[in-house]
Chain A
Amino acid sequence: MKEIAIVGYQQSDAVSDAGACNEVELIIPVISKVYDQVGIKNAQDVDFVCSGSCDYLQGAAFAFVMGVDALGAVPPIKESHVEMDAAWALYESMLKIRMGHADSALIYGFGKSSPGELPIVLSQQLDPYYLAPQWVDTISLAAMQARLMLDKGLISEQDMAEVVSRSRRNALNNPHAQLAGDVSVQDVLAQETYVSPLRKADICPVSDGASAMVICTVEKAKEWGLPYAVISGIDHCIETHNPGMRDLTDSVSTRKAAENAGVHNGAVDVAELYAPFSHQEIILARALGLGDATSVNPSGGVLAGNLMMASGLSRIGEVFNRIVSGEAQRGVAHATSGPCLQHNLVTVIEQAKEAA
């Protein structure tokens, strides 16, 4: 089976309101940068393109088609889309390469969440008869999950505040972060609750932006003469859409995906986890079996800026950056979708063998 390498990754700043900038204008700067990074001219120079976005954010059917304008629609290209985070567009692109239908792929994800009321927009991804008509927002669902953990003594508010504090401090080194600062655990705990038991700091911000990546076979990466990291494992698993039937204090789907992706076949130097709420980072770290030797969310994670439909791809990109810079040899990236970590994708990324 052909080994697949990541050769380029770029992300926009996570901003709370991109103003008049439309989706195409969010995408073009990041794909231009990733073309430059890889040394290609345009989408004609890769074999396949796949994007991740959500029509509900734009409030229009087939809204992703407009995103294709960022690539230039003529001459025709092989193009696909997932109504999911672009981490799943990466998954589709890997399948395309593995099947021998492509040697290289451009992947991008984008979301402009600011025009709508995101927690309410996301309520419409729930069961259409039992939950969506109630407009149960995503923050409230996560708050119920956090309370289950607090009631069972599986976490404390202090633990949650520690996640927030570390995220804000790590984000000081991330030029794209929306929320960064020297925030202490005490500062967080001093905040009053918002949707109890959650404080505003426990909740990722609403952000606008995009990210893009180029992957290819290892042979192609060598031909291009680019530094690369290898994707050694990837898998995703989903749990039932009925939150009442899930163990919300664990992430069994992450556990299973991690097993299948081979997370435990070596040391994990770095992990970037898509945890939109502080307590979810703790659930994920436990499900992935991460210990003190792993640096978790050195970018600040999504608590520092959450690009809907791109943050999952960005987690993979953040791990790639650290491996190519030599900061880490092996890392894990996680992407999530759905309420309370319903659907999870786990990717293992390793240093190129020649570099080891």
Chain B
Amino acid sequence: MSQPDVLHQAFELGFTYTRSTGPVVGRFLTELKQRNIVGIKGSDGRVIVPPMEYDPDTAEELSEFVDVGQEGEIVSYAWVKEPREAHPFDKPFAWAMILLDGADVPMIHCVAADSEDAVSTGARVKAVWAEETIGFITDIRCFERV
């Protein structure tokens, strides 16, 4: 009896599906691709950036988008002397809570700076865009001092 032909099929190990990010997160990420930052109004009128789908206090579904600035103020920060492999920089940098102009809730992102002394609470920073934007939070490559 002859050997049957062995069946072949290419296989990629991974999640081979894409997933919709929905009308709120999706809108934010799409705006990032266009180098624009949007927030959303919470139940109490606070502008939340990045936008949330539901208000954490009232559970109300949120939908009123607001454009916010690409500059803002550092509310708090952590200075990372020894960056980890997964981190966005291979030299010391800061993680910061940044209150963008026109926002009422700080967002967390990284801040590029040459030394710890160059970062401080209250310092003004601006978004630096990635060379190619793809609709990902990392389209904002980092923030840096104005």
Contacts and interface: CB of A to CB of B under 8 A. Distances in A.
A198 B87 CA distance: 18
A147 B50 contact: no
A244 interface: yes
Interface residues of A, number: 33
B65 interface: no
Contacts of B110: 134
Given A129-B137, A133-B136, A195 B88 contact: no
Interface bin, chain B: 20 to 34
A196 B88 contact: no
B127 interface: no
The residue in B48, B85, B97 that gathers the most chain A C-beta atoms within 10 A of its C-beta is B97
B95 A151 contact: no
B84 A147 contact: no
Contacts of B105: 242, 244-245
A117 B48 CA distance: 31
A141 B116 CA distance: 17
Contacts of A144: 76-78, 95-97, 108
Contacts, number: 97
B113 interface: no
A338 interface: no
B145 interface: no
Task: Point out which of B76, B81, B121 has the most chain A C-beta atoms below 10 A from its C-beta.
Answer: B76
B116 A244 contact: no
A254 interface: no
A262 interface: no
Given A117-B84, A243-B108, A136 B95 contact: yes
B29 interface: yes
A242 B138 contact: no
Contacts of B56: 239-240, 242, 245
Closest 7 interchain pairs by CB?
A143-B78, A240-B56, A135-B86, A196-B79, A140-B78, A144-B76, A140-B95
Interface of A: 117, 119-120, 123, 129-131, 133-137, 139-141, 143-145, 147-148, 151, 193-198, 239-240, 242-245
